[in-house]
Chains A and B, each alone.
Chain A
Amino acid sequence: MLIEQSAYTNRWRSISPAAKGLFALSGLIASFAAATPTTAAVVALALVATTLLGAGIGCARLARVAAPALGFLLIGSLSLLVSPALDASGSLTLQWLPEGSAPFFRLVARSGAALAALLFLVLTTPLIDLIALMRRLRFPDVLLELMVVCYRMLFVFSEALHDTLTAQAARLGYATPRLALRSLGQLTANLAIQVWSRAHDLHIAALARNNDGPLRFIEPTFADTRRDLAIAALAGSILILGATLL
């Protein structure tokens, strides 16, 4: 996963996740508080600049991660540009920009800025750090347990998929289109069984290690959390004030 790779290798990996979360939250608030589309666009640019210049995420990587979401945003917003209506003769027509272009630009700018805030957070903070942060914020244990197990199962799924594909390919399962279709069908039918069985094995393994309930892991520690939080609060306040006043 491209986002996970960036989260573990970026320049701000050692910054407290609480500080990065606070700044991202400020970005989300600023994107909704922005008075005009131009202001929201400025908020988006500020967040993107922080991600690129501060955290050291590469331009190409950010573009690759953002491209699908931006594509959805642009395609999705097209529905605001047209409005179906019946004309005098009773036939269906499409009216172009019934409310003008303002709602379209407002939505694109707000959503773009909020997306920039989300990308800042996910590209700089590994999921495990976020789960640890949620534990400190006293989210329900059961929810965190589900998150840990689901996260692990994603890799179990990935491993089972890779193993099965390799085994099928080694037996020329994808040599012809007809064989490939058959192999894909078998892969789909058997993947759930494989993972189900591996999940059962994981449970046995946990019991063998005297696990009696919650799955707990050593959580990373961050040296300058207070300093990081103070800087994030200052930067976030500037972002929100700027979005509100501009």
Chain B
Amino acid sequence: MHIMEGYLPVEHALGWTAASAPFVAYGIHAVRKRFRDNPEQRMLLGVAAAFTFILSALKLPSVTGSCSHPTGTGLGALLFGPAVMAPIGLVVLLFQALLLAHGGLTTLGANVFSMAIVGPFVAAGIFRVARGLRLSLALSVFLAACLSDLATYVTTSVQLAWAFPDATGGFAVSLAKFAGIFAITQIPLAISEGLLTVLVFNALARFNAQELRSLKLSTDLEVRAQ
């Protein structure tokens, strides 16, 4: 998913940075409030960031200037809310650029928009809809994580197609080209991420029920020891 350093033209890099900025600013405000109200969640946000870092470091190359990997933002969005994931995603992407040379500084805004804004908001939305339809907790978590992963990749495909429209078919053909190439690796990865997120969520519900109850999106969960 991470678009590599220098890959986007300068106007696209700046544009995506400007588009991400308000979400990150609001996310910082949300994190500050959370730190003030629940100081014990400070370290847990660090866990969410580290989890996202590790999952999204498992990368496979893609013929699109980007790469395929699980995103890990779905779990964080379900536990802490989608707004909080914008600054967490920013930190994760910055760390990946600085510690692994994966992604980049000039493409940080574009990568934040796809992985730390679109992905988490889709995850939270799908989860709410699924719970509203009275689907089981496991299926709701699976759908949220899996579809947020796919939404991230569709967004990256749109970003790349916009920056590099096809010489003959323009934006639409370019989007089909990028999305088609991504789909080969990303659909299995999205399913894997959905299953892994269910595993982790079940484990947290089993052993950390008290903490889960204190988190915003999990107050209505049927958390129980198994």
A3 at the interface (CB under 8 A from B): yes
Count of A interface residues, CB-CB < 8 Å: 67
Output the least CB separation between A18 and chain B (Å): 16
0/1 per residue, A29-60, Cβ < 8 Å to B? 00110000000000000000000000000000
Q: Which of B99-142 contact A (CB under 8 A)?
A: 99-102, 104-106
Contact B6 A32 (CB under 8 A): yes
Check if A83 sits within 8 Å of B167, measured CB to CB. yes
The listed residue (B46, B65, B177) touching A199 by CB distance below 8 A is B46
- Closest chain B residue to A32 by CB distance? B10
> B196: which A residues are within 8 A, CB to CB?
188
B153-169 near A? 1/0 per residue, CB < 8 Å: 00000000000101111
B-side binding surface: helix, strand, loop or mixed? helix
Contact present for A72 and B65 (CB under 8 Å):
yes
| Given A99-B167, A150-B92, residue A192 in contact with residue B203 (CB < 8 A) | yes
CB contact under 8 A between A76 and B40, given known A65-B101, A68-B101:
no
What are the residues of chain A within 8 A of B43 when measuring CB–CB?
149, 153, 199-200, 202-203
Are A142's CB and B28's CB within 8 A?
A: yes
Q: CB-CB < 8 A to B28: which residues of A?
A: 140, 142-143
Task: Say yes or no: B4 contacts A157, CB within 8 Å.
Answer: no
Contact of A119 among B63, B65, B101, B177 (CB under 8 A): B101
Q: When the two chains form the complex, which single residue of B7, B51, B87, B94 contacts A76, counting CB atoms closer than 8 Å?
A: B7
Given the known inter-chain contacts A72-B67, A146-B87, A156-B50, please indicate yes or no for A111 contacting B7, CB distance below 8 A. yes
Closest chain A residue to B10, Cβ basis: A32
Assess whether B97 is in contact with A118, with CB atoms less than 8 Å apart: yes
Q: Once the chains are docked, how many angstroms separate the CA of A71 from the CA of B60?
A: 11
Which residues of chain B are near A66, meaning CB under 8 Å?
A: 101
Interface centre among A85, A127, A142 (most CB of B within 10 A): A142
A233 contacts chain B at the CB level, 8 A cutoff:
no
Is the CB–CB distance between A79 and B87 below 8 Å? no
Q: Which of B32, B53, B104, B181 contacts A79 (CB 8 A)?
A: B181
| A153-B47 contact in complex given A65-B101, A95-B168, A146-B91, C-beta closer than 8 Å | yes
Whether B99 lies near A192 (C-beta < 8 A) is no
- Do residues B65 and A77 form an inter-chain contact, with CB atoms below 8 A? yes
Asked whether, in the complex, the Cβ of B204 is within 8 Å of the Cβ of A150, the reply is: no
- Whether A83 pairs with B166 at a CB distance below 8 angstroms is yes
Report yes or no: A83 in contact with B173, Cβ–Cβ below 8 A: yes
Bound: A117/B61 CA distance, A: 22
Asked if B62 and A75 sit within 8 Å, CB to CB, the answer is yes
Taking A28-B6, A84-B177 as known contacts, 14 extra A-B pairs with beta carbons closer than 8 A to each other, sorted by chain A number, are A32-B6, A65-B101, A69-B101, A80-B164, A95-B168, A111-B5, A114-B104, A114-B106, A118-B105, A150-B88, A153-B49, A189-B199, A192-B200, A196-B47
List of 4 A-B pairs having minimum Cβ-Cβ separation, nearest first:
A114-B6, A76-B65, A149-B46, A98-B167
Chain A residues within 8 Å of B, Cβ to Cβ: 1, 3-4, 28, 31-32, 65-66, 68-69, 71-73, 75-80, 83-85, 95, 98-99, 103, 107, 110-115, 117-119, 121-122, 127, 130, 140, 142-143, 145-147, 149-154, 156-157, 188-190, 192-193, 195-197, 199-200, 202-203, 213
